[in-house]
Amino acid sequence: MIFMNTLSRKRNSKTLIKRTIVAVFTSLLLLGNTSCKSSKPRIATTKKEAAKRYPSRTYKPSSSSNGTTVVKDKRTSSTPTTVENDKTTDAPFVKEVIETAMSYEGTRYKYGGSSKKGMDCSGLIHVSFLEAGKSVPRTSSSLFNAAKPVSFNKIEKGDLLFFATGKNKTRVNHVGLVVNTTAAEVSFIHASTSRGVMVSTMNEGYWLNAYLSAGRLD
């Protein structure tokens, strides 16, 4: 009787070990499929880097029958949006705003900063317009509220681009200043948290995905 009980305990022990091994293996397999290195996305800062990291998000220009360029803006709609060739002339005011903003290129990022010692995104806009003689709001959300909406195909130099880079994809928390527009791309200067004040383009998947709208300060 004692022998049978001992044998039964050994069998139960082996069964428990097998079940434990299977459970551990299953957990490791699921962990490998669901975990990632970081929950914070790394910003793509070049076209080549963006194309590798976000191949399905970047848009590729293609010519249309009327000579303009068609791009797909996946934030606003699935319908192609036409970006017209840059036909605007640089007004002295806009030129000064852009030149001021570009003079801060390379400045490190600093939350609440508005000088060569450190700059944040809305601080860059505020300082650039102020030095050109126009006082504008200091935060990205207040800039969004003050700006007149502009459709993507009407964007001009000096316009503002608004983004949602946080968890709330409808809340403005980042802003950039358009410095150049062509049939192929829209370039803007902004204060990146990772690289400071720099120039990026809407050809980069990260920014296209985070794009909310454009605006113009009268």
Residues involved in catalysis? 121, 174, 190
- The rounded distance, in Å, linking the Cα atoms of 193 and 207 is 14
Q: What angle do CA 158, 164, 166 make, to 5 degrees?
A: 140
Note whether 190 and 200 are within 8 A (CB).
yes
How many other CB atoms sit within 10 Å of the CB of residue 25?
10
> Residue 185's closest CA among 209, 201, 170, 174?
201
> What six digits make up the tokens of 130?
């102020």
Q: Which of 152, 123, 133, 127 is nearest to 216 (CA)?
A: 152
Under 8 Å between Cβ of 162 and 152? no
Residue 114, token pair as written in the block: 């508005």
Q: Which amino acid is at 5?
A: N
CA 167 remoteness from chain centre: 12
